[in-house]
Amino acid sequence: MKRNRNVAISGIGQTKHRGHRPDVNQAELVWEAVQDALADARIDLKDIDCVVHGNMELFEGVHQPDMWHVLGSGAFGKSGIRVTTGGTSGATVAAAADHLVASGLYDTVLAIGFEKQEEGQTTTGITAMADPLWGREIQTGAITGTTGLMWVNEFGARAEWAAAKTRVKAAKNACKNPKAHLRIQITEQDVMNSRLLAFPLRLLHMCPESNGTCALIYASEEQARRYPRQPVWIKDHITTHREETFHRGPTARVESSVGGTHDNPAGITGLRAQLSTMEVAATTLFKRNGITNPLQQVDLFEMYDPSSWWEIDWTCLFLGLERETVLNMIEKGEFEIEGSFPINPSGGVVSTNPIGATALIRVAEAALQIRGDAGEHQVPKPVKTALASGFGGTLWTVLHLLVKEL
Amino acid sequence: MSDRVAIVAMAQTRFERKKGGERFQEMVWEVVKQVREQTGLDFHKPGQIDSAVTCSDDFFDSRTISDAPMGDLVGAHLGPEEKVAQDALQAVFYGWVGILSGHYDVSLVVAHCKESQASSRNLITHAAFDPLFSRGVGLDYLTAAALQARAYLHKFAIPAEQTAAAVVRDRRHAGLNPKAQEQRPVTVKEVLSSKPICDPLRELDIYPVSDGAVAMILAREKRAKELTKKPVWILGGGNCYDSYFLGDRNLADSYSLRQAAARAYQMAGIKNPRPDLDLAEISAQCSYQELLWLECLGLAEDGKAGKWIAARGTNFDGEFPVNTSGGALAGNPLLVSGMARAAECFLQLRGEAGKRQVKGAKRALAHGTTGPAGQHHCVMVFSNE
């Protein structure tokens, strides 16, 4: 992507994401992450020029919450903007912080993603996404078994085992991450025995509702080189949205397994054959950054995985891999922290999900891994290039590419 | 700083108390279609409209992710769309930032709001207050404004005739603007005898419930000159947050507006706003704000704006025209107001403002505000040179 000037992440902050935080109000929860980011960056609130805020306001039922949150965001007297795009909010906040610094208007920008989900009813909140005249009766939030069903139809129990193994991987990683919400010790059998939501999607496959905030400090190249922390550079990012309706064919690959075969998608006609935002975002981003083989040229991927079924499906879409290849790689443990291509070393969204913060936490984890500061969940291999994705709206994608050296 | 950025096209709906026959998507399409026609641009990438900034609000639309219904309308088919959930001048600001950053060349910015959909817009703005300390005392943006009105009017002992004069001026201007909602002129006496709503504010002191949408296309310098003969350049912009609790602020003044204005003026190279600008469009949700915001923008002396307005100094044919569009007091929904202000600047600077045209206007200021009693302000300065 063309840019007016280079931008880096100079500070990373998060709350310890938890299911219950009755001890703090919303502004206090924001302040915890802001404080953490400032301490990590070793700079002062007065160094911040501009604050970007994002969340999903119908989850807590607070209108224009950036107003109240000024008490915790430190935005008093500063410039600021609020951007929200649903689940992608955190990734859009990150993109906005990059825009704002790259524009030359601000040298140091604080990006904040927030959600305190226990203060509302998440499924009610998500159901209100659908059009009131059509769609709302059948809207069930992100709880859909369709993707899993495609896999089970094709691969049977092998796919169920792969999804369970992917969930167990997330749990193991989360146990190493003190910021993660669900730090549980589970086995594949526990996952496959957990409550059925919509076959083959089970409770343990799904992301939780969390309370938490993520705050990142973005700085211009000049400023970032002056700040104490090792900068993590923003190489590129891309936002790929699509239409309001879900049911115009979620992905070409999924449709092809219904209508025909992988090799012969000719049976698919018209709109049903459209590409997914994941494929478009990744191929465009890779092309303009000279990435021809992501498994070789990218060191890890922190993916927004609302359920383990989507993690395995989207691994195919983002990386351009066949399902068979991905199943093999899961079975060999290639996506584990010690594997050849770690995915979600943080524990992912199935472990931690304060929605407005969730996509920003992906960027935070990618940056932490590049810096080598992820502690127990640091991947052992050198990390120079990392991908972080956001998911939201009607299967929208925002994809960030971070690098250690420009 | 990178290239200059200009507004190359603009369209707005007629603002109406209730657009009962249209969904908000239809309002948006009405204006998006027009700016596409004005520029000949479509949504194919690259080379056409390459990004979109929308402005709406989950509460007012009663939709979680209120930009989800926008994707179809703004060309976000497998492309970028980002939503600003504040006053829409912030969306124009953000569209400008996206081009300055180098990321985009041509951006569509569109804002909509149907206040008529809510049984009470005060119920929505009530929810903007924290549930712990502020909601319990019944605050909403209207009651917050009434507290601010009291503080400001008391400080300078401003007679009600002066705030009423601002309503009279705005309504007179609205009568000359075919897109304005409340086009019937009113008198000072009518304002002062209108129904008391929230003391000291009366019905005509408060902006009416309104529905409408505005769209613009922003472009980098090279593209702007290809797309229109009359680009309206963005010279500068600034914004600022004030503190949250009303009791923590000096309500008789606005720290954040003074900061936002100073930032915009510095960037636009404006040393003395009154002689350096030719007109201003100000987002006032209540009549007293026409006075207070004007003073905080440095366009009138503290406590003296009311006298100036009453003496017709800010009429479209006066020494410094303010709100030639009719302003928000003639009817613009909460979120759209700041962009409707920028829309009027666009028309004035292109000499397309019809009967209310300010002769020889070269530089214009637009103002938008978000939050209770003007907690956040955004100021932008435009020029046709």
The predicted pLDDT at position A141 comes to 64
pLDDT tens, chain A, 406 aa long:
789 999 999 999 999 999 999 999 999 999 999 999 999 999 999 999 999 999 999 999 999 999 999 999 999 999 999 999 999 999 999 999 999 999 999 999 999 999 999 999 888 888 889 888 887 877 766 667 888 998 999 999 999 999 999 999 999 999 999 999 999 999 999 999 999 999 999 999 999 999 999 999 999 999 999 999 999 999 999 999 988 877 654 444 444 333 444 433 444 443 345 678 999 999 999 999 999 999 999 999 999 999 999 999 999 999 999 999 999 999 999 999 999 999 999 999 999 999 999 999 999 999 999 999 999 999 999 999 999 999 999 889 999 999 999 9
Residue of B nearest to A94 (CA): B82
The dihedral region occupied by A67, where left means phi > 0, alpha psi between -120 and 50, and beta the remainder, is alpha
Report how many helices (DSSP H) and strands (DSSP E) chain B contains, helices first.
13, 11
Report CA A267 to chain centroid distance, whole Å: 34
Residue A190 and residue A185: Cα distance in Å, rounded?
A: 10
- Under the banding of pLDDT at 50, 70 and 90, the label for residue B171 is very high
Domain-located, residue A129: no
Residue (of A316, A309, A314, A330) closest to A147 by Cα position: A309
Among residues of chain B, what percentage have pLDDT more than 70?
99
The predicted pLDDT at position B77 comes to 85
Task: Say if the Cβ atoms of A67 and B375 lie within 8 Å.
Answer: yes
Among residues of chain B, what percentage have pLDDT more than 90?
96
Supply the CATH classification number for the domain B5-118+209-227.
3.40.47.10
Alpha carbon of B207: minimum distance to chain A alpha carbons (Å):
20
Residue (of B185, B382, B374, B370) closest to B279 by Cα position: B382
Domain-located, residue A2: no
Alpha carbon of A188: minimum distance to chain B alpha carbons (Å):
34
Residue B359 and residue B316: Cα distance in Å, rounded?
A: 9
The predicted pLDDT at position A142 comes to 62
Residue A357 and residue A52: Cα distance in Å, rounded?
A: 12
Alpha carbon of B96: minimum distance to chain A alpha carbons (Å):
9
Chain A contacts in chain B segment 63-102 (CB below 8 A): 63-65, 67-69, 71-72, 76-86, 90, 93-94, 97-98, 100-102
Task: Say if the Cβ atoms of B77 and A392 lie within 8 Å.
Answer: no
Question: Residue A3: which of B94, B103, B124 has the nearest Cβ?
Answer: B103
Residue B384 and residue B362: Cα distance in Å, rounded?
A: 6
- For the segment B44-76, what is each residue's pLDDT rounded down to a tens digit? 877 899 999 999 999 999 999 999 999 999 998
At B344, which helix (H) or strand (E)?
helix B337-349
Residue of B nearest to A61 (CA): B127
Query: Do A114 and A184 fall within a single domain?
Result: no
Distances (CA, A) of A39 to A33, A57, A78, A359: 10, 28, 19, 22
Please tell me if residue A57 touches chain B, with a CB cutoff of 8 Å: yes
Alpha carbon of B353: minimum distance to chain A alpha carbons (Å):
30
Question: Residue A240: which of B79, B97, B100 has the nearest Cβ?
Answer: B79
Task: Say if the Cβ atoms of A83 and B97 lie within 8 Å.
Answer: no
Domain count of chain A? 2
Distances (CA, A) of B44 to A252, B51, B62, B74, B76: 21, 11, 31, 11, 10
Q: Hey, is A360 helix, strand or coil?
A: helix
Please tell me if residue A287 touches chain B, with a CB cutoff of 8 Å: no
Please tell me if residue B46 touches chain A, with a CB cutoff of 8 Å: no
Residue B223 and residue B5: Cα distance in Å, rounded?
A: 9
A65: containing domain:
7-124+211-231
Q: What is the DSSP annotation of A124-193?
A: HHHHTTS-TTTTTTT-BTB---HHHHHHHHHHTHHHHHHHHHHHHHHHHHHHT-TT-S------HHHHHH
The predicted pLDDT at position A122 comes to 86
Give the pTM.
0.96
Query: Do A253 and A160 fall within a single domain?
Result: yes
Residue of B nearest to A50 (CA): B240
Report whether pLDDT(B2) > 80.
no
Set of chain A residues whose Cβ sits within 8 Å of the Cβ of B80: 238-241
Residue B213 and residue A197: Cα distance in Å, rounded?
A: 41
Q: Where are the alpha helices (DSSP H) in B204-304?
A: 221-227, 255-268, 273-276, 287-296
Contact yes or no for B345/B354 (Cβ under 8 A): no
Please tell me if residue A82 touches chain B, with a CB cutoff of 8 Å: yes
Query: Do A167 and A99 fall within a single domain?
Result: no
Query: Do A186 and A272 fall within a single domain?
Result: yes
- Under the banding of pLDDT at 50, 70 and 90, the label for residue B114 is very high
Question: Residue B242: which of A51, A76, A99 has the nearest Cβ?
Answer: A76
DSSP B42: -
Chain A contacts in chain B segment 120-159 (CB below 8 A): 124-125, 127-132
Q: What is the DSSP annotation of A232-267?
A: EEEEEEEEEB--S-S-S-S-HHHHHHHHS-SS-GGG
At A314, which helix (H) or strand (E)?
helix A308-319
Alpha carbon of B62: minimum distance to chain A alpha carbons (Å):
7
Contact yes or no for B120/B114 (Cβ under 8 A): no
Domain-located, residue A1: no
- Under the banding of pLDDT at 50, 70 and 90, the label for residue B324 is very high
Residue A370 and residue A378: Cα distance in Å, rounded?
A: 9
The predicted pLDDT at position A267 comes to 42
Alpha carbon of A336: minimum distance to chain B alpha carbons (Å):
31
Task: Say if the Cβ atoms of B241 and A75 lie within 8 Å.
Answer: yes
Task: Say if the Cβ atoms of B65 and A392 lie within 8 Å.
Answer: yes
Set of chain B residues whose Cβ sits within 8 Å of the Cβ of A99: 94, 97-98, 101, 103
Query: Do A59 and A141 fall within a single domain?
Result: no
Residue of B nearest to A129 (CA): B64
At B216, which helix (H) or strand (E)?
strand B211-220
Query: Do A176 and A220 fall within a single domain?
Result: no
Which residue's entry shows tokens 């009600």?
B160
Please provide the average confidence, as pLDDT, over all residues in chain B.
Answer: 97
Query: Do A147 and A273 fall within a single domain?
Result: yes
Chain B contacts in chain A segment 105-144 (CB below 8 A): 105, 125-129, 131-132
Omega before A200 within 30 of 0, i.e. cis: yes
Domain-located, residue A357: yes
Question: Residue B84: which of A81, A104, A126 has the nearest Cβ?
Answer: A81
- For the segment A99-157, what is each residue's pLDDT rounded down to a tens digit? 999 999 999 999 999 999 999 988 888 888 988 888 787 776 666 788 899 899 999 99
How many C-beta atoms lie closer than 10 Å to residue A324's C-beta?
12
ipTM greater than 0.90: yes
The predicted pLDDT at position A247 comes to 60
Specify the CATH number for the domain of residue A20.
3.40.47.10
Please give the backbone phi and psi of residue B237, each rounded to the nearest 5 degrees, phi first: -160, 150
Task: Say if the Cβ atoms of A63 and B240 lie within 8 Å.
Answer: no
Task: Say if the Cβ atoms of B241 and A125 lie within 8 Å.
Answer: no
Alpha carbon of B375: minimum distance to chain A alpha carbons (Å):
7
Please tell me if residue B181 touches chain A, with a CB cutoff of 8 Å: no
Residue A42 and residue B42: Cα distance in Å, rounded?
A: 47
Please tell me if residue A243 touches chain B, with a CB cutoff of 8 Å: yes
Query: Do A192 and A337 fall within a single domain?
Result: yes
Which residue's entry shows tokens 């636009």?
B268
Alpha carbon of A145: minimum distance to chain B alpha carbons (Å):
22
Alpha carbon of A265: minimum distance to chain B alpha carbons (Å):
21
Set of chain A residues whose Cβ sits within 8 Å of the Cβ of B371: 64, 67
Please tell me if residue B55 touches chain A, with a CB cutoff of 8 Å: no
The predicted pLDDT at position B46 comes to 75
Alpha carbon of B77: minimum distance to chain A alpha carbons (Å):
4
Set of chain A residues whose Cβ sits within 8 Å of the Cβ of B82: 83, 85, 92, 95-96, 239
Chain B contacts in chain A segment 317-336 (CB below 8 A): none
Please tell me if residue B110 touches chain A, with a CB cutoff of 8 Å: no
Residue A346 and residue A175: Cα distance in Å, rounded?
A: 9
A376-390: b (≥16 Cβ within 10 Å) or e = ebbbeeebebbbbbb
The predicted pLDDT at position A140 comes to 67
